[in-house]
Amino acid sequence: MKIGVNLYPSVGGSGYLATRLGRHLVERGHIIHFVTYQRPFSLMWEDTRGAYVDLVDTIDYPLFKDICPPYSMALASKMVQVTHNSKLDLIHSHYAIPHALSAYMAREIVGIPYVITMHGSDVHSLGLDPAYQPVVKHTVQQANAVTTVAEYLRESAYTELGIEREIHVIPNFIDIEKYKREEGTRLVVESGCVSVRKEEDAEAINPDQRILLHVSNFRAVKRVVELVEIMKMVVDENPDTRLVLVGDGPKRVEVERKIEELDLCQKVHLLGIRSNVHEIMCSSDMLLMNSLQEGMPLVILEAMASRLPVITTPAGGIPELVRPGKDGWVTEGYEKDEFAHAIVTLLDDDARLKKLGRAGRKRVKENFSADIIVPKYEQVFEEAVQT
């Protein structure tokens, strides 16, 4: 099958899943065209034989000065062009805004069926905004097939977005052979405070120290600032503990200021956007996710597959992935005191840490591996092209 995959190419869960799925589909004999505005981040360091990147044309025109160029129209036009030139069988659009509209327009023009995969905020928050909701609802409703990554999101699509059609739940997945525990890695970090950060001061973290890891896009819902405040509580109980923050985003400056304010420059370290997250996971003792809202975070799957114990909130679809007390620690609520207590408790219990790590790996292997999930997408695609 020849499939056009529409995605956001920047760092983030939906784009990462789209490229991973595309690569696995290539391995299974399909031809993939990634249709987007720049080369996807997660393809930067990879061989893309069997997959193609078709960049959307953008026009800088004075008329668009105040409203920005109409990307949805340009994207639909590129879909039409690629469909004609490469004889595509299907468009698969990840994240409904604005991709569902573009896929809908392409089908109206050339008749190509489209499948929408909803990932999170396109359902439960941004998708509900009056600026987008009527178009999101209509273009999702009219798709040849719709999937989402969590039961929680399917229910939100029905009850909040007002969708009245079948939605397939296909969970996120990872390559369990790529994400597995590798011993012997060590982290080299710099001070978490910009005012004192010097390249020559970079240090390797002592293996005897505990490393807590957080990976995100630093949006408000990820609560990274609050995580720094939680770290202050943890350090007061366990001074030989470090927090490593991987990623970047809107809250970055506020996070840096909070680190300085709480005098945690030598305890909290910002690594920025990294391509070797798996190696960092193998150097860490636990993953922390303090979010207010989530779909089904890929980073949690990666951590569990790497036998890295997870402490997380019950946000969104997380409880469908992490079973409290079995595969990780899921707090009852969102209070900082409760989260800090969970960290301190696990830091003092090596046996429990190892048990949760082993259980997490087993759960991902049995339920969220590529070999299990990718065929579910193929089945949806086959049904969509027959409708």
**Residue reference for tokens 């997959």:** 51
Specify the higher pLDDT residue, 153 or 179. Answer: 153
Gap between the Cα atoms of 57 and 182, Å rounded: 42
Best-predicted range by mean pLDDT (180-184, 197-201, 283-287): 283-287
Instruction: Write out the H or E segment, with its range, that includes residue 93.
Output: strand 90-94
pLDDT category at 367 given cuts 50, 70, 90 is very high
Helix 224-237 vs helix 252-261: crossing angle, to nearest 10: 30
Does residue 311 sit within a domain? yes
Q: According to the model, what pLDDT value does residue 35 have?
A: 96
Gap between the Cα atoms of 270 and 95, Å rounded: 28
269-321 per-position pLDDT tens digit:
999 988 788 889 988 999 999 999 888 899 999 999 999 999 999 998 999 99
Does residue 178 sit within a domain? no
Q: How many residues does the chain have?
A: 387
Mean pLDDT of 178-188: 74
Please tell me whether residues 163 and 205 are part of one structural domain.
no
Best-predicted range by mean pLDDT (52-66, 198-212, 324-338): 324-338
Task: Find the CATH number of the domain harbouring 32.
Answer: 3.40.50.2000
- Residue 87 and residue 110 in contact, taking contact as beta carbons nearer than 8 Å: no
Does residue 280 sit within a domain? yes
Please tell me whether residues 163 and 312 are part of one structural domain.
no
Does residue 183 sit within a domain? no
Please tell me whether residues 358 and 377 are part of one structural domain.
no
Does residue 181 sit within a domain? no
Mean pLDDT of 17-43: 90
- Per-residue pLDDT at 47 exceeds 70: no
Specify the higher pLDDT residue, 183 or 152. Answer: 152
Mapping DSSP to helix (H, G, I), strand (E, B) and coil, where does residue 13 land?
helix
Please tell me whether residues 144 and 204 are part of one structural domain.
no
Please tell me whether residues 200 and 241 are part of one structural domain.
yes
The conformation of residue 57, written as its DSSP 8-state character, comes to P
Gap between the Cα atoms of 292 and 176, Å rounded: 27
Classify residue 204 as exposed, middle or buried by CB count within 10 Å of its CB (0-12, 13-18, 19+).
exposed
Q: According to the model, what pLDDT value does residue 58 have?
A: 83
Please tell me whether residues 203 and 315 are part of one structural domain.
yes
- Residue 90 and residue 112 in contact, taking contact as beta carbons nearer than 8 Å: yes
Gap between the Cα atoms of 322 and 214, Å rounded: 16
Read off φ and ψ for residue 201, nearest 5 degrees: -90, 0
Q: According to the model, what pLDDT value does residue 60 have?
A: 82
Does residue 327 sit within a domain? yes
Q: According to the model, what pLDDT value does residue 50 have?
A: 76
Does residue 138 sit within a domain? yes
Q: How would you label 218-252 residue by residue, b for 16+ Cβ within 10 Å and e otherwise?
A: bbebbbbbbbbbbbbbbbeeeeebbbbbbbbbebb
Mean pLDDT of 57-77: 88
Count of CB atoms situated within 10 Å of the CB of 118: 31
pLDDT category at 18 given cuts 50, 70, 90 is very high
- Per-residue pLDDT at 194 exceeds 80: no
Mean pLDDT of 121-130: 91
Mapping DSSP to helix (H, G, I), strand (E, B) and coil, where does residue 336 land?
helix
Please tell me whether residues 202 and 129 are part of one structural domain.
no
Specify the higher pLDDT residue, 241 or 58. Answer: 241
Q: How many CA atoms lie within 13 A of 103 on its CB side?
A: 35
- Per-residue pLDDT at 203 exceeds 70: no
User: How far, rounded to the nearest angstrom, does the alpha carbon of residue 298 sit from its chain's CA centroid?
Assistant: 5
Please tell me whether residues 143 and 222 are part of one structural domain.
no
pLDDT category at 192 given cuts 50, 70, 90 is low
User: How far, rounded to the nearest angstrom, does the alpha carbon of residue 152 sit from its chain's CA centroid?
Assistant: 16
Please tell me whether residues 38 and 154 are part of one structural domain.
yes
What percent of the chain is predicted at pLDDT more than 90?
73
Does residue 99 sit within a domain? yes
The first and second tokens of residue 162, run together, are 């007002």
How many domains would you assign to the chain? 2
Domain, as residue range, for 250: 188-367
User: How far, rounded to the nearest angstrom, does the alpha carbon of residue 319 sit from its chain's CA centroid?
Assistant: 16
Best-predicted range by mean pLDDT (69-73, 205-209, 379-383): 379-383
The first and second tokens of residue 176, run together, are 């369990």
**Residue reference for tokens 């696990």:** 346
77-93 per-position pLDDT tens digit:
999 999 999 999 999 99
Please tell me whether residues 22 and 165 are part of one structural domain.
yes
Please tell me whether residues 65 and 160 are part of one structural domain.
yes
Q: According to the model, what pLDDT value does residue 208 have?
A: 73
Please tell me whether residues 28 and 60 are part of one structural domain.
yes
Q: According to the model, what pLDDT value does residue 196 have?
A: 45
Least-confidence region, from 35-39, 60-64, 180-184, 222-226: 180-184
| Mean model confidence pLDDT for the chain | 90
- Per-residue pLDDT at 197 exceeds 50: no
